[in-house]
Amino acid sequence: MNTSMIAASVTMGQLQKKLDTISHNLANVNTQGFKRREASFSDLLFQQVNNQTMPVHEVGRLTPNGIRVGAGAKVAQTALRIEQGSIQQTERSLDVAIDGRGHFFQVLTEEGGQLVTRYTRDGAFYLSQNQNNPDVLNLVTSNGSFVVGTNGPITIPANYSEIQIGKNGTISVTMQNGAVQQLGALELVNVARPQMLEQVGDNQFALRDNVVDLGYVPADIVLVLPQQNVSVQQGALEMSNVDMSREMSEMLLAQRSYQFNSRSITMADQMMGLVNGIR
């Protein structure tokens, strides 16, 4: 009975992790470019108890010999799902949606006084004043990270009139005098192994610190897309790939499993009470 209580309590703790994952997905159902996570389970250690020492008594037995005693289940992996989200038209010139599975924008985020590379699917961009040159504007994300292009961080002349972003990510601006300037293009990357990414906040991803320890080469995981393979839409945003009905169904199943395990602890406790009450 103690074994059943241990297995149930361990499983309940792991089911709580799945519920946390589902709640995180539901909380970001309206976050642009958000990618949901999916928890999967595996068995913990178990042992086979063969308690029949006399084979002669096994003649005619219909059920298999032995009792399988386990220690519950655990969350084996919380996998990142990178399916394409729906595209929502915004008609805003600085909104850009990626059309392609596994493709990400590159951004530079300041951490500890240094700029580090991060990846995101959120294409809601803005313009901020360049501190070193008042005649230039930086193309940034909502949290101020610099958007990376083929020539480094993308900058826009302050006296521009209109910004055009082509299907292949090329950026051009129309100046107030009518002249058109080409400013390079967005540099997108393809992530060959999405499970090597970890969420670092602000709807951004980074490569895991142990990528090299796992035997991978970072350059083989994150590949710069050739310009002809880039496909984006200006004036649109990619929404999250969270399916509300699916997540609610998964939550109900997890809650029911939690309830069953809780009930098994109650039953084991009642059985122990009966045994202790025998005189």
**Same domain, residue pair 181 and 97:** yes
Taking the mean position of all CA atoms in its chain, how far away is CA 253?
21
Residue 252 three-state SS: helix
Q: Give 5's pLDDT tier (boundaries 50, 70, 90).
A: confident
pLDDT of residue 49: 64
State the amino acid at position 195 in one-letter form: Q
Q: What is the mean pLDDT of residues 58-82?
A: 74
Query: How far, in Å, are 25, 96, 127, 222, 233 from residue 167 at the CA level?
Result: 30, 10, 21, 22, 6
What percent of the chain has a predicted confidence (pLDDT) above 70? 91
Cα dihedral: 150, 153, 154, 155 (round 10):
-140
Q: Are residues 93 and 218 in the same domain?
A: yes
- Cα torsion 157, 162, 163, 167 to 10°: value is -150
67 and 141 housed in the same domain: no
Same domain as 44, residue 126: no
- The answer on pLDDT for 243 being more than 60 is yes
Say yes or no: 230 and 252 in one domain: no
Confidence of residue 231 (pLDDT cuts 50, 70, 90): very high
**Over pLDDT 90: what percentage of the chain?**
43
Are residues 143 and 18 both part of a single domain? no
The angle formed by the CA atoms of residues 261, 266 and 272, to the nearest 5 degrees, is 125
Which has more pLDDT, 209 or 279? 209
* Mean pLDDT, range 76-86, rounded to an integer: 86
Shared-domain flag, residues 178 and 46: no
- Answer yes or no: do 188 and 262 share one domain: no
| Residue 169 burial by Cβ neighbours in a 10 Å radius (0-12, 13-18, 19+) | buried
E strand or H helix at 25, and its extent?
helix 2-27
Note the pLDDT of residue 47: 61
Specify whether 146 is located in the same domain as 266: no
* One domain, residues 234 and 247: no
Mean pLDDT, the chain, as a whole number? 86
pLDDT digits (tens, 9 = 90+) for 82-120: 889 999 999 999 999 999 888 999 999 988 888 899 999
Asked whether residue 251 carries a pLDDT value surpassing 90, the answer given is: yes
Separation CA 121–CA 240 (nearest Å): 9
Tell me the per-residue pLDDT of 126-174, one tens digit each, with 9 for 90 and over: 999 888 888 899 999 988 899 999 989 999 998 889 999 999 999 999 9
pLDDT of residue 44: 67
Asked whether 8 and 261 are in contact (CB, 8 A), the reply is yes
Question: Do 120 and 158 share a structural domain?
Answer: yes
Tell me: pLDDT of 27 over 90: yes
In the predicted structure, residue 260 carries a pLDDT above the cut 90: no
- Where in the sequence is the domain holding 7, given as residue range(s)? 2-81+243-276
- 223 and 116 in a common domain: yes
Phi-psi map region of 37: left, alpha, beta (phi>0 left; psi -120 to 50 alpha) = beta
Q: Is 120 exposed, middle or buried (0-12, 13-18, 19+ CB in 10 A)?
A: buried
Terminal CA-CA length for the chain? 20
Distance CA 74, CA 229 (A): 40
Query: What is the pLDDT, as a whole number, of residue 128?
Result: 92
Separation between Cα atoms, residue 259 and residue 276, nearest integer Å: 26
Q: How deeply is 104 buried, as exposed, middle or buried, from its count of CB atoms within 10 A (0-12, 13-18, 19+)?
A: buried
Q: How many domains does the chain have?
A: 2
Predicted TM-score (pTM) of this structure: 0.80
How far is 235 from 89, CA to CA, in rounded Å?
6
